[in-house]
Amino acid sequence: AQKVTQAQTEISVVEKEDVTLDCVYETRDTTYYLFWYKQPPSGELVFLIRRNSFDEQNEISGRYSWNFQKSTSSFNFTITASQVVDSAVYFCALSEDNTNAGKSTFGDGTTLTVKP
């Protein structure tokens, strides 16, 4: 069985602060895929990143960075110099079979509020 835990329900920061969103996962598979999605107030889920289990390289994309650590089963997401437009709900997800949408599990989400 797979499980995704986002322990932080809500986070509030002031603009320009750095913020890290935590994601801890459980899976028995050795091959799996991890994702982060952003859900702005408009509602649609926006894909941010996919990471394969066999690639532990951290990734940076502009102000976004992701820290994947298999030893702690974590896939944390950091926003550097946060902006008001970063305010959204962020979801972490795990897929053991990326050819089958039904095999994906989402976390409960973390609501990030960035205040000016």
Nearer to another protein, 57 or 100 (CB): 100
What does DSSP assign to residue 81?
A: S
Number of residues that bind another protein (CB under 8 A): 25
> Which of these segments, 17-25, 61-69, 74-82, 87-95, binds another protein (CB under 8 A)?
87-95
Residue 57 phi/psi, 5-degree rounding, is -65, 135
Q: Report how far residue 52's alpha carbon sits from residue 75's, in angstroms, rounded to the nearest whole number.
A: 11
Selection from 84, 51, 46, 80 nearest residue 64 by Cα: 80
Residue 79 phi/psi, 5-degree rounding, is -110, 120
Nearer to another protein, 47 or 70 (CB): 47
Kindly write out the interface string for residues 34-73 of this chain, putting x where it contacts another protein by CB under 8 A and - elsewhere. -x------xxxxxx--x-----------------------
Nearer to another protein, 102 or 116 (CB): 102
Q: How many helices (H) and strands (E) does the chain have?
A: 0, 12
For another protein, the binding residues (CB under 8 A) are 4, 9, 33, 35, 42-47, 50, 91, 93, 95, 98-102, 104-109
